[in-house]
């Protein structure tokens, strides 16, 4: 698992650009956080849906790839339950709902630092034959 | 429309952080672009789904707010059709599918610089009574 | 709660046409079942996605309306994890994820008679001011 | 194409149970209709979301299988734009957005007999190696 955690922490440039930190990866499960900064905000002075989505999508990717088989997102959806006004850290926890040879289904809950549920994300991944860590 | 375009260009900090430029806003319609940079990439060496989503979500927000009534995203979904390998500019075009007093439904097509369809996004917005530009 | 259960059991003609039985309604929660019959099958000899969706959507509606305020579906999504080959009963259990004055978010798990997860549904409802049971 | 149209018309028992008629199938495209009857209604006296979904899902399946390769739904979403009060016929038109070896993405527009857009559906299908018409 450490290998997967290191891989995502080092190679996911956009997650780094967004200040996202991968906290833990277990088989079919992952957790990450994003400390809210002024550059995460939108014009309505709340955290941008794109920032919340990116946190969720990255955590989903870590969970979907946690067993080393390369998995790519095909469909995702997210519902936003309440606006986040900054001055907090968001956490995302991804768990596997179902998996078969080619497809994996994941759910990600996004909470703030008061453990309030801010958003929920679903993602479907297509599992390729090759390994995540293998050179192309 | 210029007022809305200026508002989003100046006040959406996360879109700016991601290098997104709002190109045009018309009633119930908007277009934006994102020139792909190394910081948009994920661990699989393709453009991060979060970056593509942010481009789409921002364009959706501009279209949903184009008539001045404050509209907030409640649900969104996105399907990714093909990986984008960098060295390109992505474009998003948002159009309104339906609207009533409280809800607006939008669709966003994301294409690359060869006009290939890369992803498609759907978003539902809740329309508040107050104006986007009015002070809180 | 008995009033809500009776209302849905008597007045939802399409759920009846599909052989769906509402088992229980509690605040923000509902459970229903559908015994699979030959008329639920599709051309691939598995239970039709439309039948599974209808079971989930009906259970979602019962949960969303469980406190008497009229709530209408605006967006729903469903992921199908495995085909169902008949000779079973499907169960749907709907729970509330979040709610505010105008919007409610629900999740429905659909399982077969071996407690295997067959599909998962998400639904967002718009809450009107009037009561479900009140005459129009 | 006639072979595909006949296959779906004869073998989709749930679509028949719902009164759905497949009107036309072309490569990557299909159209169907459902004349609204009292048994399509829900407790709020509007056409049940499950009936509208079934019409859309069936049309999606016909389009996704239109070239003879067996395709199964993995994810679908639908947005409902306005309630339908009966005394009308609903039409669904499915078109392909993108396709690759294993996955196909479709969009379905649902309109009433006044050509008003009632709902929009998106579906993703997984394409198996075997043919739709081949014996298992």
| pLDDT tens by residue, B44-59 | 999 999 999 999 999 9
How many Å lie between the alpha carbon of B105 and the closest alpha carbon of chain D? Answer: 8
By percentage, how much of chain A surpasses pLDDT 70? 98
- Residue B103: pLDDT band (50, 70, 90) is very high
Query: Considering its fold, how many domains does chain C have in total?
Result: 1
| Alpha-carbon dihedral angle through residues C114, C118, C124, C127, given to the nearest 10 degrees | -30
Half-sphere exposure of D114 (CA within 13 A, CB side): 7
- With contacts defined as CB-CB under 8 Å, which chain C residues touch A122? 77, 79, 120, 122
CA distance C77 to A124: 12
**CB contacts < 8 A (C, D):** 133
Is B107 inside a domain boundary? yes
By percentage, how much of chain B surpasses pLDDT 70? 98
Using CB atoms and an 8 Å cut-off, which of residues 44-73 of chain B contact chain A? 44-45, 47-51, 53-55, 57-58, 61, 70, 72-73
How many Å lie between the alpha carbon of C98 and the closest alpha carbon of chain A? Answer: 6
Full domain range(s) for residue B55: 2-131
CA distance D88 to C82: 35
CA distance C60 to C76: 10
- With contacts defined as CB-CB under 8 Å, which chain C residues touch D80? 72-75
CA distance A52 to A83: 11
pLDDT digits (tens, 9 = 90+) for D48-71: 999 999 999 999 999 999 988 899
Mean confidence (pLDDT) of chain A: 94
- CB contact under 8 Å between C61 and D73, yes or no, is no
CA distance A111 to A90: 6
Is C136 inside a domain boundary? no
pLDDT digits (tens, 9 = 90+) for D20-32: 999 999 999 999 9
- CB contact under 8 Å between D102 and A126, yes or no, is yes
| β-strands A89-99, A29-35 pairing | antiparallel
- Stated pTM of the model: 0.96
pLDDT of residue A135: 57
Mean pLDDT of the A82-102 span: 95
- With contacts defined as CB-CB under 8 Å, which chain B residues touch C74? 75, 103, 124
Interface residue of A16, A40, A53 to substitute, partner B, most B CBs within 10 Å: A53
- CB contact under 8 Å between B126 and C75, yes or no, is no
Q: Which helix (H) or strand (E) holds A103?
A: strand A103-111
Mean confidence (pLDDT) of chain D: 94
pLDDT of residue B111: 98
pLDDT of residue A1: 80
Is A136 inside a domain boundary? no
Q: Which helix (H) or strand (E) holds B58?
A: helix B49-64
With a cut of 60, say whether residue B122 has pLDDT above it: yes
Interface residue of B30, B49, B83, B136 to substitute, partner A, most A CBs within 10 Å: B49
Is C85 inside a domain boundary? yes
Length of chain C: 136
Is B136 inside a domain boundary? no
Token pair of C62, please?
Answer: 């019962």
- CB contact under 8 Å between C97 and A82, yes or no, is no
Identity of the residue in D61, D73, D79 whose CB atom sits nearest the CB atom of C74: D79
pLDDT of residue A131: 82
- Residue D135: pLDDT band (50, 70, 90) is low
Q: Tell me the angle at which helices B49-64 and A49-64 cross, rounded to the nearest 10 degrees.
A: 150
* C28 close to C60: Cβ distance less than 8 angstroms: no
Is D89 inside a domain boundary? yes
Token pair of D133, please?
Answer: 């018409």
CA distance B73 to B64: 9
Distance of CA B106 to the CA centre of its chain: 10
How many Å lie between the alpha carbon of C7 and the closest alpha carbon of chain D? Answer: 7
CA distance B39 to B47: 9
How many Å lie between the alpha carbon of D125 and the closest alpha carbon of chain A? Answer: 11
Is A6 inside a domain boundary? yes
Interface residue of B5, B9, B10, B14 to substitute, partner A, most A CBs within 10 Å: B14
CA distance C120 to C94: 10
Mean pLDDT of the B21-36 span: 97
Using CB atoms and an 8 Å cut-off, which of residues 68-127 of chain D contact chain C? 70, 72-80, 83
Chains with ≥3 Cβ pairs under 8 A against A? B, C, D
How many Å lie between the alpha carbon of D118 and the closest alpha carbon of chain B? Answer: 9
With a cut of 90, say whether residue A65 has pLDDT above it: yes
pLDDT of residue B126: 96
The sign one gets for the Cα dihedral C48, C49, C52, C57 is negative
What residues have CB less than 8 Å from B78, skipping those under 6 apart? A75, A76, A77, B49, B52, B53, B56, B119, B120, B121, B122
- Tracing tokens 């009561």 back to the chain, one arrives at C131
Identity of the residue in C81, C97, C124 whose CB atom sits nearest the CB atom of A117: C97
Identity of the residue in C97, C105, C117 whose CB atom sits nearest the CB atom of A98: C117
- CB contact under 8 Å between D13 and C49, yes or no, is no
Kindly report the three-state secondary structure assignment for every residue of D51-70: HHHHHHHHHHHHHHCCCCEE
How many Å lie between the alpha carbon of C100 and the closest alpha carbon of chain A? Answer: 8
pLDDT of residue A76: 97
Length of chain D: 136
- Tracing tokens 């986040």 back to the chain, one arrives at A84
pLDDT digits (tens, 9 = 90+) for A30-58: 999 999 999 999 999 999 999 999 999 99
Q: What burial letters (b/e) apply to B72-82, b meaning 16+ CB within 10 Å? A: bbbbbbbbbbe
How many Å lie between the alpha carbon of C135 and the closest alpha carbon of chain A? Answer: 31
List chain C residues with pLDDT less than 50: 136
- With contacts defined as CB-CB under 8 Å, which chain B residues touch C126? 102-103
Is D59 inside a domain boundary? yes
Q: What is the CATH number of the domain that holds B30?
A: 3.10.129.10
């Amino acid at each position: 698992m450490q290998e997967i955690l290191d891989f995502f922490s080092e190679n996911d440039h956009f997650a780094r650009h967004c200040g996202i930190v991968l906290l833990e990866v277990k088989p079919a499960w992952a957790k990450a956080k994003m400390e809210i900064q002024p550059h995460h905000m939108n014009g309505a002075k709340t955290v941008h849906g794109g920032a919340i989505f990116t946190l969720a999508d990255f955590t989903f990717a870590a969970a979907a790839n946690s067993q080393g088989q390369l998995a790519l997102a095909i469909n995702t959806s997210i519902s936003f339950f309440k606006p986040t006004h900054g001055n907090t850290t968001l956490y995302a926890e991804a768990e596997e709902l179902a998996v078969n040879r080619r497809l994996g289904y994941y759910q990600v809950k996004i909470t703030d630092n008061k453990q309030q549920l801010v958003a929920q994300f679903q993602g479907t991944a297509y599992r390729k034959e090759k390994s995540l860590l293998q050179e192309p």
